[in-house]
Amino acid sequence: MKQLFCIAIGLLCALGTSQDSVKEVLDTYNDHSVEYIYGDQLAELTPAPLLLDTREKEEYDISHLKNAIHVGFRKVNISKIEKLTRDKNTTIVVYCSIGVRSERIGKQLIAKGYTAVYNLYGGIFEWVNNDKKVYNNNQETPKVHAYSKKWGAYLLKGTKVYD
């Protein structure tokens, strides 16, 4: 009976922790062709990079990193980004919720000849999980668009907002 109890507890624990880590998700969905930059590294970059938010407008409107420019994902226009900087050596950091969509946009920028493109590791979720600030209309906010219940599970801090 004790052995059966231990097996049952083990199964419950396994079910409760079946969520992949951010690293496992990124390893599953990304090919790592865009180098990651971590939040602490980004916070210390000088001069500040061109920071591109590759989430959809409704996500960006809830909150974003300070000075980030919304470029979107589904209808991203790479020529619009090229107008922001013609210098192919400009440091560009792309981000999304966790880092999957942003890698795809980063790959497009690299294909256009940009040489210093980085993907924010874990996206805005890890940024907030590491106690870094996000903004709405230049005001700090705890709110973060959590994209969906599945992806929102990786946002451990802040206030989750769903459409």
The per-residue pLDDT of the chain, averaged, comes to 89
Name the CATH superfamily, with its identifier, for domain 20-161. Answer: Rhodanese-like domain (3.40.250.10)
DSSP letter (8 states) at residue 82: H
- Would you say 95 and 84 are in contact if contact means Cβ atoms under 8 Å apart? no
Confidence grade of residue 1 (pLDDT, cut at 50, 70, 90):
very low
Q: Is pLDDT at 11 greater than 70 in this prediction?
A: no
Give pLDDT, residue 93: 98
Q: Do residues 160 and 144 touch, judged by C-beta distance below 8 A?
A: yes
120-141 pLDDT per residue, tens: 999 999 999 999 999 999 999 9
pTM above threshold 0.85 = yes
Q: What gap in Å lies between CA 14 and CA 70, rounded to an integer?
A: 39
Give the pLDDT score at 90. Answer: 96
Calculated CA dihedral for residues 56, 57, 62, 66, nearest 10 degrees: 90
For the chain, which residues make up each domain, given as ranges? 20-161
Structure token pair of residue 98: 């966790």
Q: Which of 3, 75, 90, 91 is nearest to 41 (CA)?
A: 91
Average pLDDT over residues 31-43: 97
Given phi > 0 = left and psi -120 to 50 = alpha, else beta, which region is 43? alpha
Write down the pLDDT at residue 79: 87
Question: Within 10 A of 153 (CB to CB), how many other CB atoms are there?
Answer: 13
Q: What is the residue type of 41?
A: Q
In the structure, what pLDDT confidence band is assigned to residue 19 with cuts at 50, 70 and 90? low
Give me 13's structure tokens: 């624990």
Assign 144 a pLDDT band (cuts: 50, 70, 90): very high
The pLDDT of 146-154, averaged and rounded, is 95
3-state secondary structure of 61: helix
The string of pLDDT tens digits covering residues 58-74 is 999 999 999 999 999 99
pLDDT in tens, 86-104: 999 999 999 999 999 999 9
